[in-house]
Structure 1
Amino acid sequence: MEIISGFSKLSKEEKMRWVLRQFADNPAQTEAEWKSFWHQDPDMQKLFDEFSENTLTNFYMPFGVIPNLLLNGELLCVPMVIEESSVVAAAGKAAKYWQSRGGFKAQVIDVKKVGQVHFLWKGEYNKLYCVFDELKEALLDQAAALTQNMRKRGGGILDLELVDMRHVLPDYYQIKATFDTCDSMGANFINSCLEQFAKTLQNWITANAMFDDSERDVTIVMCILSNYTPDCLVRVWVESPIEALTEIEGMSPQTFAFKFKTAVEIAKNDVFRATTHNKGIFNGIDAIILATGNDFRAVEACGHAYAARHGRYTSLTDCSIENGIFKFWIDIPMAVGTVGGLTALHPLAKKSLDMLGNPSAQKLMQIAATVGLAQNFAAVKSLTTTGIQKGHMKMHLLNILRTFEANDEEIKVAVEHFKTNVVSFNAVRELMEQIRQDKYIAE
């Protein structure tokens, strides 16, 4: 591949043609295919191009919904963006299952978000600690212009803390700040405040007469929000008398409840199972986070860190059976927004929020966590009853058939065949070979 300088300064079509020269067997055909995914409205395509850098085309993902998700007594139609059909189907089945058993309940426990100024300073911690209230006042005062609008909405800076980190690195300290960013995710707001704190910190120590010359040098290492927000926490749960669970796949409610709880206990104590268990939770959460224009990477990073908060990685969900009541729940931190960023720019993100009744950030936390719990319930239910592959592979049957370029007639035959047969890639291949051989012989 040739080395290129100034790629970002090329026009979109120049970038595309350079890329195609590097790998495409038929550049003209591939260019036409890529352009077929451009939005028909040039202004809309320009908007999509500006979301990222070096954009060539659009990458489509299915946009589906879960109808009739009952959350805190309200029926919702929840949008999901995900390429795996079995995820939407499973979450929809869980929503239907719990709809007649009181639905899902949710509450936001707290909404604190965290940012840090990381700095090096050769002075004594106790000396700075003794005057930190005075420094805190200066930090808040000089950030007031940045926080004015957020404070009007009921948010802003909640607290500032001096953290001694010299046990980690020589001369290392932090100013740890907590924020309430209301309905915005708040990354830009938090980072702007942190950078102002850094300037104030340097100037304040330099000008303060209580510090001698050896203590006036402050090295700002970095100022950045943390995607770990353990105090921006939501809880979602379902519960039911065991008898009301009804018979499941020929299994008594009592046996199902016992096996389900045991499966969750395994996920709480075995990292191999916990990883897949939690991945299933994020199958649901990521899909709605994407649909609403939020940052699924930040939400996932926070959730996985929270799963390891006690020093080992464990299940994000829990289950109990007490006094004949089955209860299944999740506590999960997540920082989301319903104003600003892509939520205000991406047309489908805006439509997703419209579909949800334009929720607050706190309500979106509850909805996303509910979808995660629904997905996890469906997965554990399948695992402890019929097994995961029966439903999973049947949902993937059409995708497998497409890899063999099956036509409508062949698809119809295959779907009927696999109503009573196990789906696997090899089984589909053998069936396709048989169908085509029989057709060849008949002709």
Structure 2
Amino acid sequence: MTDSSISKFFEKSLKERLGVVANFSGLSQDELKIIEDATGGISYNQADNMIENAIGTFSLPLGIATNFRINDKDYLIPMVIEEPSVIAAASKAAKIARIHGGFKAKSEQSYSIGQIQIVNVDVQSAIPKVIASSTEILNLANSKSNTLPKIGKGAKEVSCKEIQTDSGNMLIVELLIDVGDAMGANVTNTMCEAVAPMIEELTGGKSLLRILSNYSTKRMASASAVF
């Protein structure tokens, strides 16, 4: 089955729903058993290995939103949610959207932005020094990842900007990092921490924040539909 427009899916029994999902997605029996497992797919021992101070597991309802067609391909959308009517509303909206071809989605390249905040610095004289040392900064940043540089990803660009505040001007040094399919928060923070001492030495300033930016202007995704 490749059509996500499933008539009266909500009226089917659990066994019938699982059969539809397995058939649509090509799930194996082992994969199907994970969904059927009332513990949510993980044991206490697995949970204890994942986090600190584990005392158990916590489950929420797992449902399927139907009717979705995205970029000319049909999908069943798994949704974990405790609020009623949301999955029904999503399925209804998708049913209306598919009349005109469904949803069209696109995404840009997957770049995260890491920021190093430098204070107590002459910003205008510091910026050329940082830019002139971009290669060294990028090499140091990429040395902190065992995988990204090997697949052509990693830190790609260094940029600077001046921020004016009531307590004085500060320099923000930004690392543009191609993180591929990863979320990238940990590696971005690690790279920022690694290059901060070098930037302090170059600028004569003091680094404070060294962190992933949530202003992800280089990692945008968008979707549209006609209703």
- TM score, norm. by length of structure 2: 0.73
Amino acid at match of 2:112: K
CA distance in 2, matches of 1:221, 1:89: 47
Counterpart contact for 1:63–1:82, Cα < 8 Å: yes
CA distance in 1, matches of 2:103, 2:73: 10
Which ranges of structure 2 fall in alignment gaps of 5 or more residues?
Answer: 1-37
Task: Say whether residues 1:80 and 2:79 are aligned partners.
Answer: yes
- Per-residue deviation, 1:157: 1.7
Counterpart contact for 2:142–2:155, Cα < 8 Å: no
State the match for 2:95 in structure 1.
Answer: 96
State the match for 1:172 in structure 2.
Answer: 170
State the aligned residue count.
191
Task: Say whether residues 1:115 and 2:124 are aligned partners.
Answer: no
Question: Any idea what SS the aligned residue of 1:131 has?
Answer: helix
Alignment of 1:240-389 (within 5 A): none
CA distance in 2, matches of 1:130, 1:233: 29
Amino acid at match of 1:196: A
Say if 1:121 and 1:138 are closer, same or farther in 2 by CA, change over 3 A: farther
Say if 1:183 and 1:53 are closer, same or farther in 2 by CA, change over 3 A: same
CA distance in 1, matches of 2:40, 2:59: 14
Of 208, 218, 221 in structure 2, the residue corresponding to residue 231 of structure 1 is: 218
Amino acid at match of 1:136: S
Counterpart contact for 2:103–2:225, Cα < 8 Å: yes
CA distance in 2, matches of 1:233, 1:119: 27
State the match for 2:8 in structure 1.
Answer: none
Of 147, 150, 154 in structure 1, the residue corresponding to residue 148 of structure 2 is: 150
CA distance in 2, matches of 1:221, 1:40: 41
CA distance in 2, matches of 1:111, 1:129: 26
Counterpart contact for 1:109–1:235, Cα < 8 Å: no
State the match for 1:71 in structure 2.
Answer: 70
Amino acid at match of 1:96: K
Give the helix-richer structure, 1 or 2: 1
- Per-residue deviation, 1:45: 1.2
State the match for 1:59 in structure 2.
Answer: 58
- Superposition RMSD in Å: 2.6
Of 133, 136, 158 in structure 1, the residue corresponding to residue 134 of structure 2 is: 136
Counterpart contact for 1:70–1:104, Cα < 8 Å: yes
Q: Which has the higher contact order (CA 8 A, sep 6+)?
A: 2
- Per-residue deviation, 1:148: 5.7
Which ranges of structure 1 fall in alignment gaps of 5 or more residues?
Answer: 1-37, 206-215, 240-327, 329-443
Counterpart contact for 1:191–1:223, Cα < 8 Å: yes
- TM score, norm. by length of structure 1: 0.40
State the match for 1:199 in structure 2.
Answer: 197
Amino acid at match of 2:160: L
Say if 1:137 and 1:56 are closer, same or farther in 2 by CA, change over 3 A: same
Counterpart contact for 2:158–2:174, Cα < 8 Å: yes
Amino acid at match of 2:123: Y
CA distance in 2, matches of 1:169, 1:113: 28
Give the strand-richer structure, 1 or 2: 2
Question: Any idea what SS the aligned residue of 2:133 has?
Answer: helix
Cα deviation 1:196-241 (Å, max 9, x = unaligned) = 1102213445xxxxxxxxxx4x3221211022213311121112xx
